[in-house]
Structure formats: C-alpha cells, structure tokens
Structure 1
C-alpha cells in the first residue's frame, strides 16, 4: 500500500500544480485584459523618452487621439499568449518545486523566496523570446516622439520570430534576459510577501481568506515588489525594444544595464528611473490583486469540484 500511497501523492501533487498553473494563467489573463490600457501607457512612457511624463489618463487620451480607439489594446493577443504561458510555467514550477521540496512541511518566507526565484529563472529562460516579440509587436505602428526609434513591420507572432532570427540572430530573442533574471526578484518577492501576509492573517487558524483580504494582500505584495524593482524594468523595456549595437555577452549586458541606469539618472535625475511608475503601479497592483483573487477562487473551486477535501488545499 505504501507505493500506492506514494504514487497517489505524486499524482495529486502534479495534478495540484496543474490546477494552480491553470488557475494562475486564467486569473492573470482576465486581470491583464481588464487593465491592459494602463500597461500600454506605461510602456510608452518607458521607451519613448520624448513623451512628457504626464498622468496616465492623459497619455491614454493622447494615444487614442493620435492612433484611434483600439490603440491602447494594440498587441493584446501576443501579450495574452506570453502571459498565459509565463504564468502557467511560473505557477506550475512554483508549486511543483514547493511540493517536492517541502514534502508537506509548512513553508517559511525564505523558502517561498528561494522557490519563487527558482520558478522565476525557469520561467525567464523559457518565455523571454515571447516577451521580446511581444514588446516589439506592442510598439509596432505607434507614433513615437523619439526620432531614433526604427519602426518594425511584423505580420504576427511567428513572422516576428522568423524576422528577428533572420536579421539579428537567435540570441536577439533573449535580449534583456539579464535584467529579467534580476527581475525574478519581483514575482519572488511578491509571492513571498503574499504568502507571508496570508500566513499572518490566518495566524494558525486554517480559514479561507475573504475576497477583500486576498485582493488587499495581493495589492500590497505587488506594490512593494514593483517599486523596488522598477528601475530595472525600465531598462528591460528599452533593451527588449532596441536592438543592441554589438553582440552582447553577459559582461556587456551587465555594463549595458549599468550604463543605461547611469545615463537615465544623468538625463532625468533619480526620478527618471521611475518614469511611468504610477501607470505601472496602478496597472500591476490592480492586475495582481485581481489575479490573486481569481487564482485563489478558481483553485479553491476546482479543488472543491474535484472533491479534494478543503483541508488538503488549506495545508499550503
């Protein structure tokens, strides 16, 4: 019976991770769609330096005025595809690693952080090419206020992959990987703060949190993680969009990150690193809070439907 039990647990764990992965992917896609225009505004503020740093609604109004009503949703499909894969990979890895490592023991903030970082690294290496294509498709056809930016013409996701590989080599698909690897701290910190706050709120009583509680702790976790890592995100957007002049190796990508940070500070002061932050905070905080909420609800409903007792679900 022992082997049977082991087989059962491993099946439940892989099945559980799958539920978490699907719930995470669906939750994030829904949340992202709702707040997508805010992300468009943020990306423009980061990449297009000649855009005056206006309030988010003002930037959106400009974009709609210059480029039409659907412009804030430009690049929605590739973003949703990438996001779906990305969150699926992240949640799946996070829960698989957690299950195999903890073997049912309760988790601590430091293990959550380490597991989050591990899941994040796998995720970055697997999904960066999609995000590179993504950033380019999203900015394609935009009216830039900066003359140095060369426009691109891709007909779609596959065409973008093909053209980038043909013109810039396979390596270009991993542009900006280095800041992305540093940025795995973002979801890792977010998960750590989220799980930590969740434990605090429960304080030993295994109750399900209310929607409002999940929404609020999801928001807090994301806000802190985003503010801390935002300067790197700005650099990452610029690197993904702009084709680097020389073939970048790790050293030069370290150097690129440093020099971009420095030149940004020289040009705009420390606050230049945070240009577009309020758009980003508004968007990510709302998106993350909604995502965590949907994710918890979908996961808990699925487990209920599948008849996995709630006590089993609560353990985590």
Structure 2
C-alpha cells in the first residue's frame, strides 16, 4: 500500500502501521449509516437491476417489459416481501461496504498526506479509493453472492425456496461450493473497484473545483444541495465508465446458469446479445444508484461532521 514509493524510508509493515494509526471509527459509523439508509430506500430498484442484468433468455426467468412492469409483476406475485428479497444481505453488504470504504479511504488519504495540508492530486485520490475498494471487496464479497442468489429466487422456479435467508444461503453455498462459491464474481469485482475509485476521484475533484470557483477555503464544508449535486454527477460518471463489469459479476453469481469464468461470460454475452447485453439493467441501476449515492454521501458528510467535529 505504498503510494509514495520510498516514503520516509519505512518498510511495508511500517506503512501498514501508519495507515492503521490514521483509521477513525467515526468514518466507519458514518459510512455504515449512509449505506444502510440508502439501501433500505432503493432496494426494490436493485432487485430490478439484477434481474435485468441476468436476463439471458433462460426459460425459467420471468419476462419483463420494463422497470415498472417488473416491479408490478413482483408486487402482484409476492407483495412487498417480494420487492425486498435479498434485502438483508444487501443492507449488511452496503452498510459494511460503505462503512469500510470510507474507513479505509480516509485513513489512506490521511497517510498519503502525512500531516501536510496540501491537497491530494486526482491520481492520489484514484489510487487511495482503489486500494480502499480492494480491501472492502475482499471482506464483503460473500455477502454480495448471497444477495444475488436471494434476489434471483423466482416465484416460477421450483427451487426458489433453495435459500431461506442470508445465513442459510451462506452456509449452503459454503457446503456445496466451498470458499470459491462465496468468492464468485470476485475477479470482475476487482475490476469494479475502478468504479468506486473513479467516483471518489470525480467527487473530490468536483468539490475542489467548486470551492475554487466560489473562492472558499479548501477545507470548507459544502451544503446539502451542493453535496447532492457533486455526489450525483460523480456517480453518473462512474456508472457510465464501468457498468459492464456488474453484468458479468451478476451472471457469474447467478445460480441458474453455469459459466467457465469471466472470459466465458464475456464471450457468450457478446455472441448471444451483442454490446447491449453488457448494459442490461443500466437504466434501473442509474435510477437506483444516483439517489442512493446522494443519500449515502449527504448522510456520511453530516454524520462524520457530527462525530468528528461536534461543535
């Protein structure tokens, strides 16, 4: 985790210790709070996004004509509970992911700054966010596998009661597929860390440029509307750049189809569906992640401010 090669001559373990010393539990709590609240609000759209992402023509999959039709169909067949299939691992996953992401990201940023007040460059923000993303993914990937499996239990599928909940899914996946089953989609997930890295880089750069435009100090806090705007723009930018990996990852984690790895998913998706296959579900995804990102960042900024600077 050495972003400044040869930084003050410390060994690799020394760098790790420096990063650990910069970690603040307040950032973990603030990120977790934002992640949980945003997930509870937009989970039904996440369910829609995943179902569209894996729509590869398999016969047992329900056919939907659009976002509203999908939500209406699930509501009619399974009620509110159907729209919230997989919400438990999603809340755990999103809460843990956002909490850990901000926890690691702010610590790595503080380490790179090393007590200096100079602003980080776009590249430093990008690398800091990427490293935070890899650490977070490694800890949370099993949760995301269970969420995908639970979301893809269709009412028309005779095996839909395969998993009774998050814990049951974790145990059954481990027993039948081993550790590798819990880490399905990990490799495309690593590519996906570029999504978070691009989003955080864009978020930091937008804030910096806006503050310069307003001629306010670099450490000045933005108001709620300004935070919402910068969070939305940075999320839209990141989604547009990286969405295909989410389709590949969802298909690898899907229990109804079998692929021989990431390359096989890419080849078969391209052959059967063309380029558009890699962007299935992007509209419900944008509708979901943009407000979710805004909620997460606004809650994070306010909770972290309250915890770290309660004056």
Q: TM-score, normalised by structure 1?
A: 0.83
Alignment map for 1:99-248 (pairs within 5 Å): 99-105=110-116, 106-140=119-153, 142-143=154-155, 151=160, 153-203=162-212, 205-206=216-217, 207-242=220-255
Distance in 2 (alpha carbons) for counterparts of 1:303 and 1:13: 13
Q: Which residue of 2 aligns with 1:22?
A: 29
Alignment partner of 1:97 is 2:102: no
Q: How many pairs were matched up?
A: 284
Kindly provide the CA deviation profile for residues 234-272 of structure 1, in whole angstroms up to 9, marking residues without a partner as x: 1101111238858xxxxx6xxx32332232233222212
Could you tell me which of 255, 262, 274 is aligned with 2:279?
274
Could you tell me which of 267, 292, 301 is aligned with 1:296?
301
Which secondary structure does the structure 2 equivalent of 1:107 belong to?
coil
Alignment partner of 1:49 is 2:56: yes
Kindly provide the CA deviation profile for residues 288-311 of structure 1, in whole angstroms up to 9, marking residues without a partner as x: 011111111111122332x4xxxx
Quick check: 1:136–1:152 contact (8 Å CA) kept in 2?
Answer: no
Shift of 1:281: 0.5
Quick check: 1:231–1:261 contact (8 Å CA) kept in 2?
Answer: no
Shift of 1:39: 0.7
Give me the CA root mean square deviation. Answer: 2.4
Shift of 1:134: 1.9
Distance in 2 (alpha carbons) for counterparts of 1:259 and 1:66: 34
Kindly provide the CA deviation profile for residues 181-235 of structure 1, in whole angstroms up to 9, marking residues without a partner as x: 0100011111000011011111162232121111011011111111221111011
| Aligned CA distance change for structure 1 residues 165 and 201 (closer, same or farther; 3 Å) | same
Distance in 2 (alpha carbons) for counterparts of 1:40 and 1:29: 16
Unaligned runs of 5+ in 1: 1-8, 247-251, 308-316
Quick check: 2:252–2:265 contact (8 Å CA) kept in 1?
Answer: no
Kindly provide the CA deviation profile for residues 110-147 of structure 1, in whole angstroms up to 9, marking residues without a partner as x: 0010011111111111111111122112323x235xx7
Which secondary structure does the structure 1 equivalent of 2:80 belong to?
coil
Moved more, 125-134 or 278-287: 125-134
